[in-house]
Amino acid sequence: MTHPRWLNGDTVTGAIALALGLGALSMIPAHVSPDGLGAWADMRSPAFFPLVVSTLLIVLALLLVLRGFASATGPAMPARRRDGAEPGIAPRRVALVGGVLIAATAGIFVIGYVVTAMLLVAGLARALGYRRVAILVPLAVGVPLAIQALFQGVLRVLLPTGMF
* SS3 category, 78: strand
The percent of residues in the chain predicted with pLDDT above 70, rounded, is 74
Q: How far apart are CA 104 and CA 76, in angstroms?
A: 39
Q: What's the pLDDT at 139?
A: 93
Q: Mean of the per-residue pLDDT values for the chain? A: 80
| CA distance to 53, 110, 117, 129, per residue, from 103 (Å) | 24, 11, 11, 18
Q: Does residue 144 sit in helix, strand or coil?
A: helix
The pLDDT tens digits of the residues spanning 43-88 come to 777 777 778 888 999 999 999 899 888 877 755 555 555 555 555 5
N-to-C CA span, the chain: 57
Domain map (residue ranges) of the chain = 9-73, 91-154
pTM, entire model: 0.56
Q: Determine the Cα–Cα distance for residues 109 and 66; give it in Å rounded to an integer.
A: 39
Q: Residue 78 forms beta bridges with which residues?
A: 2
Residue 125 has pLDDT above 70, yes or no: yes
How does pLDDT run across 85-103, given as a tens digit for each residue? 555 556 777 788 888 888 8
